[in-house]
Amino acid sequence: MGCTSSVLKKTYIVGRKKKLVIPEVIVFVPTMRILVDTDLQRALKGIIPRDLVDKLSTLTSQISLLAEDTGGSAYIQLNGALERYLPVVLGLTKKVYSIEDKVEFRWKNLQDTRQIRTLKD
């Protein structure tokens, strides 16, 4: 996220007229992406323990609901859900489970729900 002033406020005298340059401010706000529900039960069945899959599914749903329903304004609850989600996902990256190419994570922009991006692994 950034903010910049593209033109400085100065007064120039051109001929007999004063020319006032008005500052222009540009603000870039990145869009928030949220997870689209994925069927983790079917994709990870028999590969990792069922309680771990249930926990991951619950946290994913909680994050999606918090982000969609509040538009990202429930920062404390969303941050807490993400802090619980991250260790579970990082624990699955161990080579013990070998789940490469098993789960496809799909994301959508919060402002533009028509566009969905897909990431493997």
Please give the residue range of the domain that contains residue 48.
Answer: 31-120
Which has the higher per-residue pLDDT, 94 or 3?
A: 94
In a domain, 8, yes or no: no
What is the value of pTM for the model shown?
A: 0.56
Residue 54 tokens, joined: 């249930």
Q: Please, are residues 26 and 6 in contact by the beta-carbon 8 Å criterion?
A: yes
Amino acid 1: pLDDT: 47
Answer whether residue 17 is part of any domain: no
Helix (H) or strand (E) holding 62: helix 50-70
Residue 94 lies in a domain: yes
Residue with tokens 């400085």: 8
Q: Give the number of domains in the chain.
A: 1
Tell which residue, 25, 4, 107, has the closest CA to residue 63.
Answer: 107
The answer as to whether 4 is a domain residue is no
- pLDDT-derived band at 69, boundaries 50, 70, 90: confident
pLDDT in tens, 88-120: 877 777 666 667 667 777 777 777 656 666 655
- Rounded CA gap, 4 and 97, in Å? 47
